[in-house]
Amino acid sequence: MQKPILTLACELAPEPLKELFAAPELINDLKTMNASISLGILDFSPARVEVVRQLNKAGIPVTAWLLLPKEQGYWFNRDNSYEAIARYGQFKTWTAKNKLRWAGIGLDIEPDMRAIQELMKDRRAGFCRMLKNVVNSRRSQLSLIDYRALVAQIRSDGYFVESYQIPFIVDERKAGSTLIQSSFGLVDLQVDREVLMLYSSFIPNSGVSFLWSYAPDAQGIGVGSTGGGVDLGEGAMPSLDWHEFKRDLLLARQKTDSIFIFSLEGCVKQNFIKDLVNFDWEETVIAPVETAEKISRFRRLGRGLLWISAHPWLVFGGLFWLAWFLYPRRRNR
């Protein structure tokens, strides 16, 4: 079996980032794996410039994973399309000034960080915000137009565009609905490669089945987390040990040749890098077929409910005509 294309995500502040790449063996290991890096652009600091130049010099492909300041929502979503467009403009200026090279641009589509923190602190307030999002459908439409224009601009600048998406977006497409997008402020974009974030560590007990259920729908599969990531104020996020991580890699490889690993710093901290260099992609793994099918059944039910949400008048109309058809027959009896 041919080795997959590995992309390791790195989401570090300037000083930890500089420290991470100070070790020459990491660069050598990445080259040996033919791996690429998706580097979180948290800022336009000199330390980030230095690391990108270091990777450029070593011939390691680097995707610019665009992010916003936390006070603007951090990830890209419905409520910060203007800020996202402005951020890309700043990124282009910074790139030209420092003569940096990029293999592509990554757009991380997730709910506003502030909304997630609000939901964690006060579920009632969080659900009220979600309800307002559903009602304000006009804002979603305008935001989608903005983001489509942004993708077109990035492509016209000669960049490959990939997105990092929450997997439920797949079910919405199949159902022809926008309820989840409206509720959580997401946007459904057509890009060159869509990576579904199938991090099994985030779903205790069922994570691997969740991954296997969604994997056939993914162009690229995100596995993890091995550790790291932004702090949402609730302590460290759960992470995979080596056996769990290896299992997810082998399962993902059965469905795609494009694997996204979150995160590089987690792999370094847990000493996974050397194991990745010598990884045996021919090793067999048992797929969780039965438990994944249970999740797939729930997904089919969910798609049915989403379809109803997208066609309420059609459903009500069908029920009305059914009642009209049956009522005379009951009366005649």
The pLDDT tens digits for 191-206 are: 999 999 999 999 988 9
E runs forming strands in the chain = 5-10, 36-41, 62-66, 104-109, 161-165, 193-197, 220-224, 258-262
Alpha carbons 135 and 138: distance in angstroms, whole number: 8
- Beta pairing partners, 6: 259
Contacts 24+ apart (CB under 8 A), 84-92: 84/146, 84/147, 84/150, 85/146, 85/149, 85/150, 88/150, 88/153, 88/154, 90/44, 91/41, 91/44, 91/64, 91/66, 92/157
Question: Residue 233's pLDDT band (boundaries 50, 70, 90)?
Answer: low
Question: Residue 18's pLDDT band (boundaries 50, 70, 90)?
Answer: very high
- Kindly state the average pLDDT of the residues 239-255: 97
Let me know: does 221 contact 260? Beta carbons within 8 Å. Answer: yes
- For the chain, list the domains and their CATH numbers: 5-332 (3.20.20)
201 vs 319, more confident:
201
What's the half-sphere exposure (Cβ side, CA atoms, 13 Å) at 197? 19
pTM here is 0.91
DSSP structural state of residue 261: E
| pLDDT, position 315 | 45
Q: Is the pLDDT of residue 173 over 60?
A: yes
Question: Residue 4's pLDDT band (boundaries 50, 70, 90)?
Answer: very high
Q: How far apart are the first and last CA of the chain?
A: 69
Of 25-39, 110-124, 201-215, where does mean pLDDT reach its minimum? 110-124
